[in-house]
Structures are given as structure tokens and as C-alpha cells.
Structure 1
Amino acid sequence: MSNGHVFVVQGRMENLDSDAVIVATDLSFSVGGHWAPTLGLPGAGFDEAVRALQPDGWRARRWGRATAAGTAEPPKPTWFMDVAYYFSRSLTEDLDGVMARLRLVLAEVKELRAGQGRSHVLVSMPLLGTGHGGFGPIRGQVIDTQLRVCREESAALGIDIVIIANSTSDYTALQERRRELGSEDVALTPELRAAAEQLAAVARSGDLALFLGAGVSIGAGLPSWSSLLGNLAEGKDVDLTQLSSTLDRAELLRIKYGADFGSAIAAQVTSQRRYAMTHAILAALGCRQVVTTNYDRLYELAAGDLQANVGVAVLPFDRAQQDRPWVLKMHGDAERPETIVLTRSDFVSYNATSGPMGSLVQSLMVTRHLLVVGASMTDDNFLRLTHEVLAFREAGSMSPEDKERPLGTVLPLKPEPAQAELWSGRFDYVPVSAADDPEESRARSLTIFLDHIALLAAGNSHLLDERYEALLEDREADLVVQARELHDSLTSMTDRPRRWDPVVELLGSLGARPRPSGGPSDR
């Protein structure tokens, strides 16, 4: 078993698929109602229901696995931890106690079996004690300490850990501290690191768009295209072996299912309600244009957890708006089974029925760098659109430099030398694992590579926030104070000229907050 890995994402605990979760509470076992979805409990009667989950010997140990309680049993293995500050000691001393309990919990989590499609056990946890636990004012110190403990334990125990940030400032602070602590990605070759740096730079510039295939959702337990057809064939006892083409197999299944074909497909791809790590990491890249051939809405769920105020537009069903990122469902949507594209006849008629969607994909190839994840370069519609763009580019008046610019980057799970040569100069091929790597580890290699891109692409939304001061170098402290004072002066200025608004917005985007009259807002 290789070393574990510590991931950081922004999202919601109840929506991320993992093998185990850690729930924060206190010595009196007061569990906040916001944990109800994670624990699979109803909001009504939550306090009584969660009390039944209290681990044995709670007051003595202050940590433990949830007690099985029939219908109240959580949907996945759950550990509770006392993460509260009690004022009898310093914040630092109580934080040390929290981290000691975390080590004990992780030692028990190690005994679990990794879920389907995972080579390592994955446990998810919040940023401990920063909600109602009392450690909010020293968020920076919590981030530094929790990351160090998680890195040590993941390496020693061989488990994967994901810290889920519930705010952009927590997320960027965690990523900054990870960068400063140095890379733990020992599996990443120099070539992969260089590719990640290039893609992160494109993401930071806003020029990165995504093209997502079935491989992204397989990590969440959904079927591949061939598995989907196999499952549908079993439902009607259909022998597909005499047909070599997957499109013809799908056509036969449409005949067998009749009007229920779309609904049968939708049932297969909506069975999983939690998104995978890959969805969460891709959403964190902040790409405003995403194209997918997937029917499920797991990426939309992950992106929606980051875009809580504006949501994510799903094209072609929603109206695109300037302030909303969008996802184009190139082959239809499970929530609208009649739109699903799967059979040969669907593909033949695609250009006639969905021309504007194809044009939108082509515009991204011309104006953005397309990162292809979980998709092979075999989709007939995508290939036709790509070759049309290449022909347009070759015949146009673009500069030689622009004509030679790759349309995007493809991330195959293993080396594909023939495909790489076929698309040389048009798409960069970056295999995320070696040819002799174990099959079961390749999906994890992709996730780690994407995590490295997200690590390098993260911004600085926390920089001027006093709660993260522990992450600053001494020489930065005075600069940060001056920037905050400038923000305070501008926000308190009566009839401030509008020309200063961009400065206020910039400082606010870096974490400057109006200073409350009653002291720090977390107190």
C-alpha cells in the first residue's frame, strides 16, 4: 500500500462520496442540526435521533464511532470528535487535545475497507473547531496544525484524507499552506508537475474550459458507457454479443425498451447522489464553461456547492447569464430522459437537431484551452466538431503561432502513444500514470494530478482576513495591516467617489472585512 494523500476541496460533507466521515461536536455531545444530511437524519426530531448515535464512553474518551441504532444508523461509518475550546486553558493547548483525538480516530478509520473503485480508504472531515467550536479566531493556526497532523497520519496509515472547506477563504488558506509545506505528491513525475503548473496558470487566467466524459462519474460509482449498455441488456434479457458497435447495441436496446428507454437510462445514472473527489476538484478550478457528455448531474451538484448564491446554468435548458457559470449537456440530461443521445440514430441526427450546441463547443475550442477529463477521443460528435475547427483554423487568416496552438489537453489514465501521435500539435496528451502501474490505482492518480492543478490554481481570498494571521510571514504583517486600514478608510468614507470602488472590491476579494464595532466577528 502506498502512502496516503491529503486532499482539500470546497463543498458540503453530505454531498461528497467517501468511506467515512468525522463529525464535530463537544463534550456534552451537542451536534448541530446542519449535520443532519450527513448523518442521514431528518431535521424534525434531530436532537433525539442523534443522541442515539453517541459513542460508548463518550465523556471519558471524547471521540468514538457512532453507535449503530437501527434506522438512525448513518449512511456511512461515522466518527464523532469533541472539537470545542473550553476556556480553562489556552486555545493552543485545547487545539493540541483536538489533534490528539484526531490521530486516534484516523487509526480506527484505517481498519475500514476502501469503497468500490478506490485503492485507499477515504475519510472526509471539516476544518475542526472553527464553526461553533471556538477556534474560529485562530483559523490560520488550526489550518497549519490540522494539515500537519493529516499529512503525518495519511503517510503512516496509508489512508486518503479530504478536508472539506465550507468557505472560499478557508479553501484558499488551506491550499496556500499546503503549497508552503511542500508537495507530498511523490507519485507525480517532473513532467506531470510541469503540466500541472501550465494548466493551473491557464485556470488562473480564466481561459480554461472543461470537457468531461463518463470516466469522471465512474469514480462516484456510476457505470461506464459499456457497463450502462450491459445493465440495460440484463433488464430485458438481450444478447448484445452479435453486435460489435456500441451504437448499434444501444439502437437494439431502444427497440426493446420502446418509450421507456430514456427513463431506463436515467434510472441507471441517478442511483448515486454524492459526487466524487474528481467532481469536487474540477469544480474548484472555477471554470465558467463546462461541456459534458454525462447524463448525471454530479458535476453540477459539486459546482453548485461552490456557487450557492448564483447556481450553475444547465444548457440548453437554462438561460445563460453573464454572472453564472454554465454546463452544456452535450448528450442530454437524466432529468429530461427524452433528450438523451446514445444510439446510432441519435448520433446521425445530432448535427441537424443540436447544431447550436455543437457551435458552442467549437467556440470553446477556438477561444479557450479545453481540458478533456474522463473521455476518450472517440466520440463521433466531438471528433466531427474538432475536425471542423481544425479545418477552419487551417484555412483562416490566423498567425502561424495560433494555428499551432493545441486546442486542449487530454488526460488519459495510461499512456496512449498512438492516440498522442495522432493528435500531436492539436491536443496535448498527458497520461497520469505509467503503463505498468496497477489498474486500480490509475483513477486515484488522475485525482491526485487534478488536486495538484487545483492546489496551484487557488487564489488568495483569505490574505487580508485577520483570522488567518498565523499563516503570514513576519515581514508581511505590516503590509496586511496597512491594506486593512485602507479598506476601513474607504468603506467608512461618506460619499466615497465611485473611482475607488474597484479598490474596495479588490481588497474585499482578498479577505478585508468591515471591522465590527464589538470586536472580531467570531467572538
Structure 2
Amino acid sequence: MSGHVFVVGADLTRLSCDDVLVPTGRTLRVAASWRALLPDDLVTDEDADGVCVDLAWHGDERVLEVPGSGPRRAWLLDTVDDRGRGLGWLLDGAREALAAVARREVTEPVHGRARRLVGLPALGTGWGGAAGRRGDLLQQLLPVLREAADEHGFDVALVLRGPSDLAAAQRVRRGDDGGWDLPEPLRALAEQLGERARRGQLALFIGAGVSAAAGLPTWEELLGELAARSGLDDDLREGLSRLPPQDAAALLARELGRDELERFVQERFGPGPYALAHALIADLPVQEFVTTNYDPLVELAAADMGRELSVLPYDEPRPGRPWLLKLHGDAAHPAGVVLTREEYLQLGDSRAALSGVLHSLLLTRHVLFVGTSMLDDDLIRIAHQVRSAVQVPGREPRRRSGTVLALREDAARSRLWEQDVETVAMGGADAPPAEAARRLEVLLDLLGCLSTPPTGYLLDPAYRGMLSDEERVLAEALQGVAEALPEGASTPSAAGEVAALLRRLGAGRSGGRRDGSGDDRPVDDRPVDEATDARDDRLQQQRPG
């Protein structure tokens, strides 16, 4: 049973996975940005530049398992080439590390995932064996990862932090089919949705199923956790299951008290590791996102790739910045979360403006629904209102306004929604949920590959070796334009607009972000990103205690 290689923009210290490869050298010093993966008792020296690990190499071995008791295991891999051994040596190390990972028995992958997930950065791109050769590395590393996934049966996530890296990796995958094990109808769907995304016509709706992959509860599980916390006797707890969910939530809110309920929401849905699906969604070239989830995982995943989302209705929207609408509230503002029947009714009244945003998207965009069963009362009401608004007597029905990616085939539910959206199942009615959820991830991975702009690395010198003759001529001409631009050109000016375009083509980059999550330098010299710093401060303030 072969695995799949995902390419995703993320932070490996925050991505939920079973194993992580951490680059180091013979001195066993790693970049400071990897510190969260290392047990305190193994750190012998620590400063702003990096940490030293209290382990030892034996002979010529290149892989060390970091001891630990948690579900995620870190592995140290020697990637610092101080003898000029080249890419072949580095790739051999990747093979050795993945074989060592495969020998560790994992009985249950993280959060019930169908396959074990192994994450690694673009190895050797700092002081390692691929320094200055990121394009060559990606072209040769991806086939090695696919061979390992096929041999060992686990999934691999190649995690990249720079837009140049991501664009270049997707180009490599588009050229060799990338190994997506999907039936033809799903491949065709990915192509259609990718075209919509490239044209700015796609919006995303994110349901609770996406966050369940990060260990957060579904609606039914949430009620169970609240019931356990409430101290209700067995008879009342049994009776909860016979009530509509919003009414069960109302009873539990009364028993717990509003303060305790808000405290629970803030603690349970606060910042934490995000799932692969969060990262795949956040990487898509989409400007408008809507969710009924309380957690901040989509915005965390987006920020780790340098995309700052305005969270509505709490943040001020900014021109050109993507936004995420929290339709049912945010754990950072627990007083406003929608949970009980009364709060759902208020959503149609005092929160009508928020519902209107989704109305607008259904009228003007194609909405991709991920992780939702489409049984939410708000979605049903909003879809009905949109359908009523666009129906014109005597005319053919309008095009469907969205696509629902369902885990399993459900003919009755598909028929119910067929006037509004197309429902596409990841598997038959008897498909195991974990396998269906994994197929959904593979589909999102293909969608990301097909929708990623193919020019993000054109002017990045680290990828010059990947360019065709025609692209090289174009890159040289554009480089001349970049050199002619005055320094500090303001965005409203013509020079500023051209400078912004050149930055999107990779000008001013040196192989993406230079930090320990994506290379082997023993220092973390990532440029200060004030927006990211502000995000981290805001999320830290949201953290309980």
C-alpha cells in the first residue's frame, strides 16, 4: 500500500504529524526554530542562534532518533556537507532517515489518520549539501520521497516556507505527474477548481471536519465533552442524545453557566498544532474564506506561509489582504460564539450582516465546501435564500454556486442539495472515513499544485538552473528592469507597482525564507515580519492563563 508525497507551505513545528526530520551537523547543533521539538533534558546549550543536543553519533551514522514519549517523534539528520560530497550524499541521507523512521512502529497515526505522516523540510539548503542549489535539490529530492512513500507505505509532507520554494516544487510535480492516486473524475474536478482559483473565482467554506484532523471535536463530540464536564446524571445525559443539537447545547449551557462554557470554548479551541488539511487550504490562492469553526488554525497555517488573514468581524479588512469570516464566532472572543438554539436564531437577526457575506460569495464566486456535512441550519437557510433570490420564472435554473467535497457517497443528501451545489464524494457509502479523509487531502494537494502560479521563482537566483532558455532570457530582461527601479518606490507610483510585480516573480529573494524550519543553518536569521510578530502577540494573548 503506497503512500503519497504532499508539498505544502507550513511550519513543521506546528504541523500535526507523526515524525519530523530535523537537519543538523556533526556538532549536533540545530537552529533555534526547531527548539519546540526537543525535550528540555536533551538541550545542553541554548542561545538566540540555536541549541545543542545531548546525543552522540556512532561511527558514520547520520540519523539519530530523539528520545521522547509523545505521539510525535523527531529525528536528527546530518545534512551539513563539509567535504564537498554533493547532492547524492544528501539524498542518501534522506533515504537512510526515512528507512529509520519506517522501523519505528506506529500502531495508530496521529488523530486517527489513515496513514502515518512524516514531515521534513528542504534538506541541506543552508550550510548543507544543497547550499545554493535549491532547484536541483527539489528536482532530485521529490522522486526520492516518492520512492520512500511507495516502499514504506507512509505519507510524506515536504514542508516549504518560501513562496519561491513552493512555486518551484509545484512546477516539478506538474512536469512529472506528481504521483496523485486519484480517479479521473477527481483529477478533472481539481483541474476545474484550479482554473477557478487562478482566475480569482474560488472561495472556501471550512467546516468542523477539517479541524477534527487536528484533534478538535466535531459537533457531537463537543456535546459529549460538555456533558461530561457538566456533571449531569446518567438519565439526563442519555436524554441529551434525543434532543436536537442546539437544544442539547442550550441545556448544557444552563447547567454549566455561561462563564464556564466560555472558558471551555477558549481552552478547547485555542491555538495549537494544525492539520495537513489546514495548511493545504491556507496555501490556496484564494482571497475569501468562511468558517463555522471557532479555532484559529486556518489563520495560523496561513501566517506561517506569510499570508496574514483579516479575521472578520474582529479585524479591520484591508485592501488586497485575504480574509476569513468566522460565521459562528471565535474562541478568542468566547462571549460571541454561536452554540445554542437561541444563538442560532439570533444569527438570522443580529448577525444578518455576517450571513450576507456568504450570500454574496454564493452569488459571485464558486464556493468550495470542505469538512461540512451541509446539515447546519444556517447553511440550509442561506442556500435557500440565495436560490429564492436568483430564481426567475420562465428561465433555466442558474449554475450551481458551489461544490461540496463529501467523504462518502450519500445519494439522498446529494439529491437534496443538487439545485444549489454539486456534491462530490471521496468514496462509496461504505468507504472508511479515515481513507476518505486522506483522499480529500490528496485532492487538495493536487488542487494546490494546479492553482499555484508558475512564476513565483522566475527571478530567484537559487532557481536559475530550473529555467528554460526562453525563461532565462525573460528573467535577465526583468532583472535589468529591477536594477533600474529607484530604491524605496512607493506602491501607488508606477515604479512601486512594477516593484511589487517583480517581488511576486521572486525578485529580492534568495531561495525563500532562510530559517531553521527550511534549512540547516545553525542560526535563525529570518527577516523580521512585523505582521507575523503582531499575529503571534495577538494569539499569545488569546491563550488561556
What TM-score do the two structures reach when normalised by structure 2?
0.85
CA contact (8 A) 2:112 2:434 kept: yes
Most deviating of 44-53 and 342-351: 44-53
Task: Indicate the residue corresponding to 1:94 in structure 2.
Answer: 86
Gapped runs of 5+ residues in structure 2? 511-518, 522-545
The alignment partner of 2:179 has SS state of coil
The alignment partner of 2:427 has SS state of coil
Counterpart CA distance in 2 for 1:473 and 1:323 is 32
Q: From 88, 101, 112, give the equivalent of 2:105.
A: 112
Amino acid paired to 2:293: N
Gapped runs of 5+ residues in structure 1? 516-521
Amino acid paired to 1:478: V
Counterpart CA distance in 1 for 2:47 and 2:148 is 32
Within the alignment, does 1:427 sit opposite 2:421 as a pair?
Answer: yes
Change (3 A) 1:478 1:324: closer
How much has 1:38 moved relative to structure 2?
Answer: 3.6
CA contact (8 A) 1:36 1:46 kept: no
The alignment partner of 2:316 has SS state of coil
Task: Indicate the residue corresponding to 1:237 in structure 2.
Answer: 231
CA contact (8 A) 2:44 2:54 kept: no
Within the alignment, does 1:189 sit opposite 2:195 as a pair?
Answer: no
Within the alignment, does 1:472 sit opposite 2:464 as a pair?
Answer: no
Query: How do 1:195-234 residues align onto structure 2 when only pairs under 5 Å count?
Result: 195-234=189-228
How much has 1:40 moved relative to structure 2?
Answer: 5.9
Within the alignment, does 1:362 sit opposite 2:351 as a pair?
Answer: no
How much has 1:324 moved relative to structure 2?
Answer: 2.3
How much has 1:486 moved relative to structure 2?
Answer: 4.1
CA contact (8 A) 1:223 1:269 kept: no
Normalized per residue, which structure has more helix?
1
Change (3 A) 1:367 1:219: same
Task: Indicate the residue corresponding to 1:62 in structure 2.
Answer: 62
CA contact (8 A) 2:407 2:440 kept: yes
Task: Indicate the residue corresponding to 1:283 in structure 2.
Answer: 282
Q: From 382, 386, 389, give the equivalent of 2:386.
A: 389
The alignment partner of 1:13 has SS state of coil
Task: Indicate the residue corresponding to 1:518 in structure 2.
Answer: none
Counterpart CA distance in 1 for 2:386 and 2:56 is 60
Change (3 A) 1:146 1:514: closer
Within the alignment, does 1:79 sit opposite 2:79 as a pair?
Answer: no
Q: From 115, 140, 155, give the equivalent of 1:145.
A: 140
Task: Indicate the residue corresponding to 1:269 in structure 2.
Answer: 269
Task: Indicate the residue corresponding to 1:298 in structure 2.
Answer: 297
How much has 1:177 moved relative to structure 2?
Answer: 0.6
| Two-structure CA RMSD over aligned residues (Å) | 2.9
CA contact (8 A) 2:89 2:129 kept: no
Task: Indicate the residue corresponding to 1:339 in structure 2.
Answer: 336
Amino acid paired to 2:229: G
> Which structure ranks higher in relative contact order (CA pairs < 8 Å, sequence separation ≥ 6)?
2
How much has 1:498 moved relative to structure 2?
Answer: 5.5
Please give the per-residue CA displacement for 1:39-83, whole angstroms capped at 9, x wherever unaligned. 3659995269953442542x6213221245xxxx88731111111
Change (3 A) 1:125 1:493: closer
Change (3 A) 1:361 1:148: same
CA contact (8 A) 1:56 1:67 kept: no
Task: Indicate the residue corresponding to 1:179 in structure 2.
Answer: 174
Counterpart CA distance in 1 for 2:445 and 2:339 is 31
How much has 1:123 moved relative to structure 2?
Answer: 0.9
Query: How do 1:126-165 residues align onto structure 2 when only pairs under 5 Å count?
Result: 126-133=121-128, 135-165=130-160
Amino acid paired to 1:507: L
Counterpart CA distance in 1 for 2:255 and 2:475 is 67
Q: What is the total number of aligned residue pairs between the two structures?
A: 499
The alignment partner of 2:456 has SS state of coil
Please give the per-residue CA displacement for 1:390-430, whole angstroms capped at 9, x wherever unaligned. 1111159xx968x5121111010011212222222420111
CA contact (8 A) 2:44 2:51 kept: no
How much has 1:491 moved relative to structure 2?
Answer: 5.9
CA contact (8 A) 1:55 1:67 kept: no
Change (3 A) 1:333 1:153: same
| Percent of residue pairs bearing the same amino acid type | 35
Q: From 299, 310, 319, give the equivalent of 1:313.
A: 310
CA contact (8 A) 1:112 1:121 kept: no
Change (3 A) 1:384 1:473: same
How much has 1:493 moved relative to structure 2?
Answer: 13
Within the alignment, does 1:103 sit opposite 2:95 as a pair?
Answer: yes
The alignment partner of 2:3 has SS state of coil
Task: Indicate the residue corresponding to 1:418 in structure 2.
Answer: 412
Change (3 A) 1:209 1:25: same
CA contact (8 A) 2:458 2:471 kept: no
CA contact (8 A) 2:311 2:324 kept: yes
